[in-house]
Amino acid sequence: AGPGHPTAGWWSDLVGPGAAIDTDRFFVVAPNMLGGCQGSTGPASIAPDGYEWASRFPYLTIRDQVAAQALLADRLGIGSWHAVVGGSMGGMHAIEWAVGHPDRVERAAILSAPPITTADQIALNSVQMDTVRVDPRFAGGEYYDAGDGDGPHRGLALARRMALLNYRSPTELNSRFQRSWQSGVSPLGRGGRFAVESYLDFHGNKFTRRFDANSYLTLVEAMNSHDVGRDRDGVEDALGRVTATTLVLGIDSDRLFPIDGQHRIARGVPRTLDGDSAVVLSSDFGHDGFLIETAAVAAHLRRLLAS
């Protein structure tokens, strides 16, 4: 937690003195993503003409973002990394680092990430993107000077609610909320709501206070671009280029990036910690399990970093 970021980050249990990623031993570099809205250049950044990039911001791929990170490493004078660690979209970056820059990555941790973004995942993403674009306040992406400071918050909140359903599992939602009401007013008539509806609303609205709609579209499109085998003779040939000792980890209840994708990575990478199979954590939390089951994730990261 700090100025501009009122709550602590997800990684506090994994990164720090004595933690799995031990800052008493390692210098940790955590670059913001190109195209994001909290540090690196993104659609809300000011272009050379003095106006926001907005809809003019270029299409980015995962490979473009890793190319920017490689330039950062050059600037910092880092020839190779002891480890590149990432989960979900960050896991796409980690695998792209290991395939595209094998001489610069000694170890890689790929957590809950796929080798490619599938048609099913692209379809889910496309609905989220259209939800943002149909908000009248989106204005084709040119909403920064609207004057009301609102922007397409309703569309962005709804897109986030849709995404959250992919991040969590049916088991967790059903056991956590069941058919409970949010208040004493029945949801079977007018005015009442189910507790799970309120939960989704809360997280959707919270997201709009810290994120930019154009960045959301830019980053979702980058995830859609992900195909580690593109222009590399396919996924298996691409994975065969990896020389890093690799940890591949997935969650058994992940419905966003199902475990078969992690197993495919593990089969294709020559040097994994666990042979031809990914490490599979059992969790009711779905895709977000890699962020929540920190003790189990930490144990496997310690194995990797000690290898």
Examine residue 55 and state whether it is found in any structural domain, yes or no.
Answer: no
Residue in 199, 198, 179, 175 with CA at minimum distance from that of residue 188: 179
Task: Specify the pLDDT at position 131.
Answer: 95
The number of residues making up the chain comes to: 307
pLDDT category, 187, cuts 50, 70, 90? confident
| Number of domains observed in the structure of the chain | 2
Say what percent of the chain tops pLDDT 70.
99
Residue 250 lies in domain:
1-30+61-116+231-307
pLDDT of 2-60, one tens digit each?
887 777 777 888 999 999 999 999 999 999 999 999 889 999 999 999 999 999 999 99
pLDDT of 247-281, one tens digit each?
999 999 999 999 999 999 999 999 999 989 999 99
Is residue 40 part of the annotated active site? The answer reads no
pLDDT of 144-165, one tens digit each?
987 666 789 999 999 999 888 8
Task: Specify the pLDDT at position 182.
Answer: 80
Structure tokens given for 60: 């980015």
pLDDT of 215-238, one tens digit each?
999 999 999 999 999 999 999 999
Q: Which of 173, 205, 225 is the last residue of a domain?
A: 225
Is residue 288 part of the annotated active site? The answer reads no
Catalytic residue among 212, 227, 254, 284: 254
d(CA 214, CA 133): 9
Residue in 63, 77, 88, 90 with CA at minimum distance from that of residue 27: 77
Kindly give, in sequence order, each residue whose CB lies less than 8 Å from that of residue 153, ignoring residues fewer than 6 positions away.
135, 137, 205, 208, 213
Residues 2, 20: one domain? Answer: yes
Examine residue 39 and state whether it is found in any structural domain, yes or no.
Answer: no
Catalytic residue among 88, 112, 225, 283: 88
pLDDT of 96-122, one tens digit each?
999 999 999 999 999 999 999 999 999
Task: Specify the pLDDT at position 145.
Answer: 85
pLDDT at 77 > cutoff 90: yes
Structure tokens given for 219: 């980053």
d(CA 90, CA 96): 10
Catalytic residue among 93, 153, 287, 300: 287
Task: Specify the pLDDT at position 171.
Answer: 86
Examine residue 184 and state whether it is found in any structural domain, yes or no.
Answer: yes
Task: Give the β-pairing of 84-87 and 21-22.
Answer: unpaired
Q: Is the pTM of this model over 0.75?
A: yes
Task: Identify residue 235 by its one-letter amino acid code.
Answer: V
Residues 111, 18: one domain? Answer: yes
Query: Is residue 251 within a helix (H) or strand (E), and if so which, with residue range?
Result: strand 245-251
Is residue 254 part of the annotated active site? The answer reads yes
Instruction: Give the chain's count of helices (H) and strands (E).
Output: 11, 6
Task: Specify the pLDDT at position 200.
Answer: 85
Bridge-partner residues for 169, per DSSP? none
Q: What are phi and psi of 105, to 5 degrees?
A: -130, 115
CATH number at residue 202: 1.10.1740.110
